[in-house]
Amino acid sequence: MASIKNIGLIAQLRSDASNHVIRYRSGKVRQSGRGLVFWFRPETASIAELPMDDREMALFVKGRSQDFQTVAIQGTLTWHVVDPELLAARVDFSLGLVTGAYKSEPIQRIETRLAGLVNQAALQYLAQAPVRALLDGGPEPLRHQLEAILAGDPALGEIGIAVTAVRLTNLAPSSELERALQTPTFEGLQQKADQATFERRALAVEKERAIAENELGNKTELARREMLLITQEAENARNRATGHAEAQQIEAAAEAERIRTVESAKAETEQARMTIYRDLPPSVMLGLAARELAGKLDTIEHLNITPDLLATVLGEFRRDAPALPRG
């Protein structure tokens, strides 16, 4: 907004470059331009200030579709002043020369007119199609239609403004209808989720079964190998026992054969001795026995010889001694 400084009977106006200022005196335009700074007499002047920047207004339209369902539209509309002097002639943009504020609400009046045009076009668009088709199409077809209608509306050109852009952010049904429309999709997604959950569980069960079967197979294989090991160990033990028994049997047979050989040799030796001793005279046998006995005795402490024994021994010697030849 322009700033006005009053100094006695005169005042100074200073406006921004984004505003167009028109100064009237006696009903005629005395100055017109953007960003003006000038002195004027408040009692004889009338000043209008128009914004030349882009102005943005909110849009909200609620209407009914062809099948009588409530649909809400939200968005924004951008407009700007094309001919400030024409607009000032059609809409009151006069400033209070003391405060510098608008005497009325010109911006609101313009936006009300624009909102009326948008509402009329949007309601006609909504009434031409059922709600499902409107929702499937989205806000883009309506946006193009609104831009075309507002760009070609002569009423806007007659007051010196133009619409530069229309943006629609939402085209939605009522909350109840939205929930109803979402139900089939939600149920379908829920069914898919349930199916996926079931498949995951089935896959998990199948994996657990496969793991259990694998573990059982491993245990069976281990048991089989353990049985084979036990059988092999038993066979090895039998073989060792058989080998040990055979070795003992061979050793016993060898020992028996050795004993037989030794005993046979002893018997033959004894037989030979007996044969030799058998032909010897008793006196010789007695002498050999005495010698054998003497060889086995370490010491003789005393020896008892009875007369009978001595007589018997001497008798044997006499009998066995050879006869001496006589001279």
What is the model's pLDDT at position 327?
A: 45
Phi, psi of 301 (to 5 degrees): -75, -40
Least confident range of 81-90, 178-187, 223-232, 280-289: 280-289
How far apart are alpha carbons 152 and 158 in whole angstroms? Answer: 12
Give the DSSP H/E element, type plus range, for residue 299: none
Mean pLDDT of 212-233: 90
- Kindly list the distances between the CA atom of residue 77 and the CA atoms of 44, 62, 98, 238, 278, in Å, as whole numbers in the listed order: 38, 16, 33, 105, 161
Between 221 and 312, whose confidence is greater? 221
Average pLDDT over residues 116-131: 95
Res. 295 pLDDT band, cuts 50 70 90: low
Q: Provide the number of structural domains found in the chain.
A: 2
Would you state the torsion angle of the CA atoms of residues 218, 220, 222, 225, taken in this order, to the nearest 10 degrees?
-140
Residue 226: C-alpha distances to residues 96, 219, 221 (Å): 110, 10, 8
Last residue of a domain, one of 173, 196, 211: 173
Say how far apart CA 139 and CA 73 lie, in whole Å.
8
Residue 83: inside a domain, yes or no? yes
What is the extent of the structural domain holding 205? 176-282
The bridge status of strand 55-64 relative to strand 70-81 is antiparallel
Q: Indicate if the pLDDT at residue 301 is higher than 70.
A: no
DSSP per-residue letters across 40-67? E-TTTEEEEEEE-S-EEEEEEEEEE-TT
Give the separation between CA 206 and CA 190, rounded to whole angstroms.
Answer: 24
Kindly state whether residue 315 falls inside one of the protein's structural domains.
no
Q: Are residues 169 and 180 in the same domain?
A: no
Domain boundary among 109, 143, 173: 173
Q: Does 196 lie in the same domain as 130?
A: no
Q: Check pLDDT > 60 for residue 322.
A: no
What pLDDT, on a 0 to 100 scale, did the predictor assign at position 310? 65
pLDDT tens digit string along 54-106? 999 999 999 999 999 999 999 999 999 999 999 999 999 999 998 889 999 99
Residue 167 falls within a domain, yes or no? yes
Q: Sign of the CA dihedral 21, 23, 29, 35?
A: negative
Q: What percent of the chain has pLDDT over 70?
A: 86
